[in-house]
Structure 1
Amino acid sequence: MFVMTVDQRGSMRRGDAVPDLLASLNAEHGEDLLLPFERTAGDEVQALFATAATVVAVTVQLVRDGGWSAGIGIGAVQEPYPPSVRAGRGAAFVAARAAVESAKAAPYRIRVIGTEPAAERAETALWLLAGVLAKRSVHGWEAVGTMSDHQTQRDAADALGISAQAMSRRLAVAGWVEESRGTALSAYLLDQADVSEEQA
Protein backbone atom coordinates (compact mmCIF):
# COMPACT_ATOMS: atom_id res chain seq x y z
CA MET A 1 0.00 0.00 0.00
CA PHE A 2 1.02 3.61 -0.47
CA VAL A 3 0.67 6.48 1.98
CA MET A 4 1.73 10.01 1.08
CA THR A 5 2.36 12.74 3.62
CA VAL A 6 2.80 16.25 2.23
CA ASP A 7 4.17 19.20 4.18
CA GLN A 8 3.96 22.83 3.14
CA ARG A 9 7.26 24.71 2.98
CA GLY A 10 7.50 28.36 3.92
CA SER A 11 3.98 28.70 5.30
CA MET A 12 4.99 31.70 7.39
CA ARG A 13 5.89 33.49 4.17
CA ARG A 14 3.24 32.09 1.82
CA GLY A 15 0.33 31.74 4.20
CA ASP A 16 -1.74 28.59 4.71
CA ALA A 17 -2.03 26.86 1.32
CA VAL A 18 -3.38 23.61 2.76
CA PRO A 19 -7.12 24.24 2.17
CA ASP A 20 -6.57 24.94 -1.53
CA LEU A 21 -4.30 21.90 -1.86
CA LEU A 22 -6.84 19.62 -0.18
CA ALA A 23 -9.62 20.83 -2.47
CA SER A 24 -7.45 20.41 -5.56
CA LEU A 25 -6.02 16.96 -4.77
CA ASN A 26 -9.31 15.43 -3.65
CA ALA A 27 -11.23 16.88 -6.60
CA GLU A 28 -8.64 15.63 -9.09
CA HIS A 29 -7.75 12.27 -7.54
CA GLY A 30 -10.38 11.52 -4.87
CA GLU A 31 -11.95 8.60 -6.72
CA ASP A 32 -8.57 6.84 -6.81
CA LEU A 33 -7.81 7.27 -3.10
CA LEU A 34 -8.68 4.66 -0.50
CA LEU A 35 -8.73 7.42 2.12
CA PRO A 36 -8.82 11.02 0.87
CA PHE A 37 -6.36 13.74 1.74
CA GLU A 38 -6.91 15.38 5.11
CA ARG A 39 -4.96 17.84 7.18
CA THR A 40 -3.27 15.71 9.82
CA ALA A 41 -1.15 18.22 11.74
CA GLY A 42 -0.07 21.80 11.18
CA ASP A 43 0.79 22.25 7.51
CA GLU A 44 0.66 18.53 6.69
CA VAL A 45 -1.84 16.52 4.66
CA GLN A 46 -2.00 12.77 4.16
CA ALA A 47 -3.84 10.16 2.07
CA LEU A 48 -3.94 6.41 1.46
CA PHE A 49 -3.60 5.42 -2.19
CA ALA A 50 -5.12 2.60 -4.19
CA THR A 51 -2.61 2.69 -7.06
CA ALA A 52 0.97 3.67 -7.80
CA ALA A 53 -0.20 5.61 -10.86
CA THR A 54 -2.15 7.98 -8.62
CA VAL A 55 0.89 8.44 -6.36
CA VAL A 56 2.87 9.57 -9.40
CA ALA A 57 0.07 11.84 -10.66
CA VAL A 58 -0.14 13.60 -7.29
CA THR A 59 3.65 13.93 -7.17
CA VAL A 60 3.59 15.60 -10.59
CA GLN A 61 0.94 18.04 -9.35
CA LEU A 62 3.00 18.87 -6.25
CA VAL A 63 6.12 19.49 -8.32
CA ARG A 64 4.17 21.81 -10.59
CA ASP A 65 2.64 23.72 -7.67
CA GLY A 66 5.96 24.01 -5.81
CA GLY A 67 6.33 24.70 -2.10
CA TRP A 68 5.71 21.16 -0.86
CA SER A 69 7.73 18.29 0.59
CA ALA A 70 6.34 14.84 -0.24
CA GLY A 71 7.01 11.63 1.66
CA ILE A 72 5.81 8.35 0.16
CA GLY A 73 5.62 5.33 2.45
CA ILE A 74 5.25 1.80 1.11
CA GLY A 75 4.14 -1.12 3.26
CA ALA A 76 1.27 -2.85 4.97
CA VAL A 77 -1.77 -0.98 6.31
CA GLN A 78 -4.04 -2.30 9.03
CA GLU A 79 -7.52 -3.28 7.89
CA PRO A 80 -10.35 -2.52 8.00
CA TYR A 81 -9.48 1.00 6.94
CA PRO A 82 -10.64 3.68 9.36
CA PRO A 83 -13.07 6.40 8.24
CA SER A 84 -10.26 8.97 8.44
CA VAL A 85 -6.65 8.73 7.30
CA ARG A 86 -5.67 10.34 10.60
CA ALA A 87 -6.57 7.07 12.33
CA GLY A 88 -4.59 4.93 9.89
CA ARG A 89 -2.04 2.45 11.20
CA GLY A 90 0.63 0.26 9.66
CA ALA A 91 4.11 0.21 8.20
CA ALA A 92 3.18 2.45 5.27
CA PHE A 93 2.12 5.24 7.63
CA VAL A 94 5.33 4.94 9.64
CA ALA A 95 7.39 5.02 6.44
CA ALA A 96 5.51 8.06 5.12
CA ARG A 97 6.26 9.95 8.34
CA ALA A 98 9.98 9.20 8.04
CA ALA A 99 9.90 10.02 4.32
CA VAL A 100 8.34 13.47 4.66
CA GLU A 101 10.79 14.44 7.38
CA SER A 102 13.79 13.49 5.25
CA ALA A 103 12.22 14.92 2.06
CA LYS A 104 12.99 18.43 3.26
CA ALA A 105 16.67 17.86 2.44
CA ALA A 106 16.15 15.59 -0.59
CA PRO A 107 16.29 16.45 -4.30
CA TYR A 108 13.01 18.06 -5.36
CA ARG A 109 11.74 17.51 -1.79
CA ILE A 110 10.63 13.95 -2.59
CA ARG A 111 11.42 10.78 -0.63
CA VAL A 112 10.21 7.21 -0.99
CA ILE A 113 10.70 4.74 1.86
CA GLY A 114 9.92 1.03 1.76
CA THR A 115 11.56 -2.27 2.60
CA GLU A 116 12.28 -3.37 -0.98
CA PRO A 117 15.24 -2.21 -3.14
CA ALA A 118 12.72 -1.03 -5.74
CA ALA A 119 11.67 1.75 -3.35
CA GLU A 120 15.00 3.52 -3.84
CA ARG A 121 14.77 2.96 -7.59
CA ALA A 122 11.27 4.45 -7.62
CA GLU A 123 12.58 7.44 -5.69
CA THR A 124 15.34 7.90 -8.26
CA ALA A 125 12.82 7.74 -11.11
CA LEU A 126 10.64 10.36 -9.40
CA TRP A 127 13.66 12.64 -8.94
CA LEU A 128 14.50 12.35 -12.63
CA LEU A 129 10.88 13.00 -13.57
CA ALA A 130 10.77 16.03 -11.27
CA GLY A 131 13.95 17.30 -12.91
CA VAL A 132 12.15 17.37 -16.26
CA LEU A 133 9.07 19.05 -14.82
CA ALA A 134 10.98 21.66 -12.83
CA LYS A 135 12.39 23.13 -16.06
CA ARG A 136 9.01 23.37 -17.80
CA SER A 137 7.74 26.83 -18.69
CA VAL A 138 4.19 28.13 -18.44
CA HIS A 139 3.80 27.62 -22.20
CA GLY A 140 5.14 24.09 -21.81
CA TRP A 141 2.58 23.21 -19.15
CA GLU A 142 -0.12 24.73 -21.34
CA ALA A 143 0.94 22.65 -24.34
CA VAL A 144 1.10 19.41 -22.35
CA GLY A 145 -2.24 20.11 -20.70
CA THR A 146 -3.86 20.82 -24.05
CA MET A 147 -2.56 17.53 -25.43
CA SER A 148 -4.43 15.67 -22.70
CA ASP A 149 -7.69 17.03 -24.13
CA HIS A 150 -6.98 16.27 -27.80
CA GLN A 151 -6.10 13.18 -29.82
CA THR A 152 -3.51 14.75 -32.11
CA GLN A 153 -0.86 17.45 -31.90
CA ARG A 154 -2.55 19.25 -34.79
CA ASP A 155 -5.84 19.43 -32.89
CA ALA A 156 -4.02 20.68 -29.79
CA ALA A 157 -2.15 23.25 -31.87
CA ASP A 158 -5.42 24.50 -33.36
CA ALA A 159 -6.85 24.86 -29.85
CA LEU A 160 -3.88 27.02 -28.86
CA GLY A 161 -3.92 28.98 -32.09
CA ILE A 162 -0.39 27.98 -33.09
CA SER A 163 1.10 25.94 -35.92
CA ALA A 164 1.66 22.20 -35.68
CA GLN A 165 5.40 22.83 -35.93
CA ALA A 166 5.29 25.28 -33.02
CA MET A 167 3.29 22.78 -30.99
CA SER A 168 5.83 20.07 -31.68
CA ARG A 169 8.66 22.35 -30.54
CA ARG A 170 6.82 23.31 -27.34
CA LEU A 171 6.20 19.68 -26.46
CA ALA A 172 9.82 18.76 -27.13
CA VAL A 173 11.15 21.58 -24.95
CA ALA A 174 8.58 20.73 -22.25
CA GLY A 175 9.77 17.12 -22.11
CA TRP A 176 6.35 15.70 -22.95
CA VAL A 177 7.66 12.31 -24.08
CA GLU A 178 10.10 12.16 -21.17
CA GLU A 179 7.27 12.85 -18.73
CA SER A 180 5.18 10.07 -20.25
CA ARG A 181 8.00 7.56 -19.97
CA GLY A 182 9.02 8.83 -16.53
CA THR A 183 5.54 8.54 -15.05
CA ALA A 184 5.16 5.00 -16.37
CA LEU A 185 8.58 3.97 -15.04
CA SER A 186 7.96 5.55 -11.64
CA ALA A 187 4.60 3.80 -11.27
CA TYR A 188 6.10 0.47 -12.32
CA LEU A 189 8.91 0.74 -9.76
CA LEU A 190 6.52 1.79 -7.00
CA ASP A 191 4.43 -1.29 -7.75
CA GLN A 192 7.58 -3.42 -7.63
CA ALA A 193 8.37 -1.96 -4.21
CA ASP A 194 4.93 -2.75 -2.81
CA VAL A 195 4.96 -6.26 -1.37
CA SER A 196 2.19 -5.60 1.15
CA GLU A 197 -0.35 -7.60 -0.87
CA GLU A 198 2.01 -10.57 -1.02
CA GLN A 199 2.50 -10.42 2.74
CA ALA A 200 -1.22 -10.16 3.49
Structure 2
Amino acid sequence: MFVLTVDQRRSRERDDLVEATMAALNRDARRPLRLAFDRTAGDEMQAVTDNPATASAIALELAASGQWSVGIGVGMVREPLPDNTRAGAGEAFGRARAAVTAAKAAPGHIAVSGASVLAGQAEAVLQLVASVAHKRSRLSVEAGLLIDQGLTQQEAAERLGISQQAVSARLHSGLWHESRRAAEVAAALLEGADA
Protein backbone atom coordinates (compact mmCIF):
# COMPACT_ATOMS: atom_id res chain seq x y z
CA MET A 1 0.00 0.00 0.00
CA PHE A 2 1.13 3.59 -0.61
CA VAL A 3 0.40 6.53 1.65
CA LEU A 4 1.02 9.98 0.21
CA THR A 5 1.63 12.74 2.73
CA VAL A 6 1.85 16.14 1.09
CA ASP A 7 2.85 19.39 2.77
CA GLN A 8 2.43 22.82 1.20
CA ARG A 9 5.79 24.59 0.87
CA ARG A 10 6.18 28.13 2.19
CA SER A 11 2.56 28.05 3.33
CA ARG A 12 3.01 31.10 5.56
CA GLU A 13 3.90 33.16 2.48
CA ARG A 14 1.11 31.87 0.21
CA ASP A 15 -2.60 31.31 0.15
CA ASP A 16 -3.79 27.94 1.39
CA LEU A 17 -3.77 25.60 -1.62
CA VAL A 18 -4.87 22.45 0.20
CA GLU A 19 -8.66 22.54 -0.34
CA ALA A 20 -8.54 23.28 -4.07
CA THR A 21 -5.77 20.75 -4.68
CA MET A 22 -7.54 18.02 -2.69
CA ALA A 23 -10.78 18.62 -4.60
CA ALA A 24 -9.01 18.33 -7.97
CA LEU A 25 -7.09 15.18 -7.00
CA ASN A 26 -10.11 13.48 -5.43
CA ARG A 27 -12.30 13.89 -8.50
CA ASP A 28 -9.63 12.56 -10.94
CA ALA A 29 -11.08 9.15 -11.82
CA ARG A 30 -7.89 8.18 -13.71
CA ARG A 31 -6.06 7.88 -10.39
CA PRO A 32 -7.75 5.39 -8.06
CA LEU A 33 -7.46 6.14 -4.35
CA ARG A 34 -8.39 3.74 -1.55
CA LEU A 35 -8.78 6.73 0.77
CA ALA A 36 -9.30 10.15 -0.79
CA PHE A 37 -7.08 13.09 0.07
CA ASP A 38 -8.00 14.60 3.39
CA ARG A 39 -6.49 17.50 5.32
CA THR A 40 -4.51 16.01 8.19
CA ALA A 41 -3.06 19.15 9.76
CA GLY A 42 -2.77 22.79 8.78
CA ASP A 43 -1.25 22.84 5.31
CA GLU A 44 -0.92 19.07 4.92
CA MET A 45 -3.02 16.43 3.17
CA GLN A 46 -2.85 12.67 2.91
CA ALA A 47 -4.29 9.85 0.76
CA VAL A 48 -3.94 6.10 0.37
CA THR A 49 -3.69 4.08 -2.83
CA ASP A 50 -2.79 0.53 -3.73
CA ASN A 51 -1.82 1.61 -7.25
CA PRO A 52 1.90 2.41 -7.72
CA ALA A 53 1.29 4.35 -10.95
CA THR A 54 -1.22 6.55 -9.12
CA ALA A 55 1.22 7.18 -6.28
CA SER A 56 3.99 8.04 -8.73
CA ALA A 57 1.85 10.29 -10.95
CA ILE A 58 0.35 12.30 -8.10
CA ALA A 59 3.71 12.67 -6.37
CA LEU A 60 5.38 13.90 -9.55
CA GLU A 61 2.58 16.30 -10.44
CA LEU A 62 2.62 17.91 -7.01
CA ALA A 63 6.39 17.98 -6.56
CA ALA A 64 6.99 19.37 -10.05
CA SER A 65 4.73 22.34 -9.30
CA GLY A 66 7.26 23.54 -6.73
CA GLN A 67 4.46 24.17 -4.25
CA TRP A 68 4.52 20.88 -2.34
CA SER A 69 6.85 18.53 -0.49
CA VAL A 70 5.69 14.96 -1.15
CA GLY A 71 6.37 11.84 0.88
CA ILE A 72 5.41 8.33 -0.18
CA GLY A 73 5.27 5.67 2.51
CA VAL A 74 5.38 2.07 1.29
CA GLY A 75 4.19 -0.80 3.48
CA MET A 76 1.30 -2.37 5.29
CA VAL A 77 -1.70 -0.44 6.56
CA ARG A 78 -4.22 -1.55 9.14
CA GLU A 79 -7.31 -2.99 7.46
CA PRO A 80 -10.13 -2.43 7.14
CA LEU A 81 -9.31 1.11 6.18
CA PRO A 82 -11.12 3.82 8.14
CA ASP A 83 -13.35 6.46 6.57
CA ASN A 84 -10.55 9.04 6.41
CA THR A 85 -6.77 9.13 6.46
CA ARG A 86 -6.56 10.85 9.85
CA ALA A 87 -7.76 7.59 11.42
CA GLY A 88 -5.38 5.42 9.39
CA ALA A 89 -2.59 3.37 10.95
CA GLY A 90 0.21 1.06 9.93
CA GLU A 91 3.74 1.01 8.63
CA ALA A 92 3.01 2.99 5.45
CA PHE A 93 1.55 5.88 7.45
CA GLY A 94 4.66 6.14 9.64
CA ARG A 95 6.91 5.89 6.62
CA ALA A 96 4.94 8.59 4.78
CA ARG A 97 5.46 10.93 7.76
CA ALA A 98 9.23 10.31 7.65
CA ALA A 99 9.26 10.70 3.86
CA VAL A 100 7.47 14.06 3.79
CA THR A 101 9.91 15.38 6.40
CA ALA A 102 12.83 14.21 4.25
CA ALA A 103 11.20 15.64 1.11
CA LYS A 104 11.44 19.19 2.47
CA ALA A 105 15.21 19.12 1.89
CA ALA A 106 15.35 16.51 -0.89
CA PRO A 107 16.02 17.07 -4.59
CA GLY A 108 12.73 17.67 -6.35
CA HIS A 109 10.99 17.90 -2.94
CA ILE A 110 10.00 14.25 -3.09
CA ALA A 111 11.00 11.29 -0.91
CA VAL A 112 10.03 7.62 -0.56
CA SER A 113 10.33 5.45 2.54
CA GLY A 114 9.93 1.68 2.46
CA ALA A 115 11.63 -1.44 3.83
CA SER A 116 12.87 -2.59 0.40
CA VAL A 117 15.92 -1.22 -1.36
CA LEU A 118 13.55 -0.69 -4.30
CA ALA A 119 11.91 2.17 -2.37
CA GLY A 120 15.22 4.03 -2.41
CA GLN A 121 15.63 3.35 -6.11
CA ALA A 122 12.10 4.63 -6.78
CA GLU A 123 12.94 7.74 -4.78
CA ALA A 124 16.04 8.42 -6.90
CA VAL A 125 14.08 8.15 -10.14
CA LEU A 126 11.19 10.29 -8.83
CA GLN A 127 13.60 12.96 -7.59
CA LEU A 128 15.28 13.11 -10.97
CA VAL A 129 12.00 13.35 -12.89
CA ALA A 130 10.61 15.99 -10.51
CA SER A 131 13.81 18.03 -10.80
CA VAL A 132 13.68 17.90 -14.60
CA ALA A 133 10.00 18.86 -14.60
CA HIS A 134 10.61 21.79 -12.27
CA LYS A 135 13.23 23.22 -14.68
CA ARG A 136 11.06 23.05 -17.81
CA SER A 137 10.13 26.23 -19.58
CA ARG A 138 6.53 27.37 -19.64
CA LEU A 139 6.45 26.64 -23.39
CA SER A 140 7.67 23.08 -22.88
CA VAL A 141 5.07 22.46 -20.17
CA GLU A 142 2.32 23.91 -22.36
CA ALA A 143 3.16 21.50 -25.19
CA GLY A 144 3.71 18.52 -22.90
CA LEU A 145 0.37 18.90 -21.13
CA LEU A 146 -1.43 18.80 -24.46
CA ILE A 147 0.42 15.63 -25.43
CA ASP A 148 -0.45 14.12 -22.04
CA GLN A 149 -4.12 14.86 -22.79
CA GLY A 150 -3.83 12.57 -25.81
CA LEU A 151 -3.33 15.10 -28.59
CA THR A 152 -0.90 14.34 -31.39
CA GLN A 153 1.98 16.72 -31.97
CA GLN A 154 0.15 18.11 -35.01
CA GLU A 155 -3.04 18.67 -32.97
CA ALA A 156 -1.01 20.34 -30.20
CA ALA A 157 0.68 22.53 -32.81
CA GLU A 158 -2.68 23.63 -34.20
CA ARG A 159 -3.98 24.40 -30.71
CA LEU A 160 -0.85 26.43 -29.88
CA GLY A 161 -0.64 28.14 -33.27
CA ILE A 162 2.87 26.85 -33.94
CA SER A 163 4.46 24.23 -36.18
CA GLN A 164 4.63 20.52 -35.37
CA GLN A 165 8.41 20.87 -35.40
CA ALA A 166 8.19 23.57 -32.72
CA VAL A 167 6.07 21.24 -30.56
CA SER A 168 8.61 18.49 -31.06
CA ALA A 169 11.43 20.86 -30.06
CA ARG A 170 9.58 21.90 -26.90
CA LEU A 171 8.99 18.27 -25.92
CA HIS A 172 12.63 17.46 -26.63
CA SER A 173 14.01 20.39 -24.61
CA GLY A 174 11.79 19.44 -21.66
CA LEU A 175 12.79 15.76 -21.82
CA TRP A 176 9.06 15.01 -21.90
CA HIS A 177 9.16 11.51 -23.40
CA GLU A 178 12.17 10.47 -21.33
CA SER A 179 10.48 11.67 -18.15
CA ARG A 180 7.33 9.73 -18.97
CA ARG A 181 9.36 6.51 -19.37
CA ALA A 182 11.29 7.22 -16.17
CA ALA A 183 7.99 7.73 -14.31
CA GLU A 184 6.92 4.27 -15.51
CA VAL A 185 10.17 2.87 -14.10
CA ALA A 186 9.49 4.61 -10.78
CA ALA A 187 6.01 3.08 -10.63
CA ALA A 188 7.45 -0.38 -11.32
CA LEU A 189 10.02 0.13 -8.55
CA LEU A 190 7.28 1.22 -6.15
CA GLU A 191 5.29 -1.87 -7.04
CA GLY A 192 8.33 -4.03 -6.31
CA ALA A 193 8.94 -2.22 -3.02
CA ASP A 194 5.39 -3.05 -1.94
CA ALA A 195 5.60 -6.72 -2.95
Task: Decide: shared fold, TM above 0.5.
Answer: yes
SS in 2 for 1:40: strand
Cα separation, 2, equivalents of 1:36 and 1:144: 27
Shift of 1:27: 2.2
1:103 maps to what in 2?
A: 103
What aligned pairs does 1:57-72 form with structure 2 within 5 A after superposition? 57-72=57-72
Cα separation, 2, equivalents of 1:190 and 1:132: 20
What aligned pairs does 1:147-186 form with structure 2 within 5 A after superposition? 147-186=147-186
What aligned pairs does 1:35-184 form with structure 2 within 5 A after superposition? 35-184=35-184
What does the per-residue CA deviation read over 1:62-119, in whole Å, with 9 as the maximum and x for residues that have no partner? 1232221111100001111111111111100011011111221211221100000000
TM (norm. structure 2) is 0.94
Contact 1:30 1:36 survives alignment (8 Å): no
% same residue: 48
Cα separation, 2, equivalents of 1:118 and 1:82: 28
| 1:28 equivalent in alignment to 2:28 | yes
Shift of 1:31: 5.4
Shifted more, 29-38 versus 102-111: the winner is: 29-38
SS in 1 for 2:64: helix
SS in 2 for 1:119: helix
Shift of 1:155: 2.1
Counterpart code for 2:88:
G
TM (norm. structure 1) is 0.92
Contact 2:95 2:113 survives alignment (8 Å): yes
Structure 1 consecutive aligned stretches of length 4 or more whose deviation exceeds 2 Å: 27-31, 148-152
Cα separation, 2, equivalents of 1:132 and 1:29: 26
Counterpart code for 1:75:
G
Contact 1:150 1:156 survives alignment (8 Å): no
User: What stretches of structure 2 of length at least 5 have no aligned partner?
Assistant: none
Counterpart code for 1:181:
R
SS in 2 for 1:13: coil
1:198 maps to what in 2?
A: none
Counterpart code for 2:75:
G
Structure with greater proportional helix content: 1
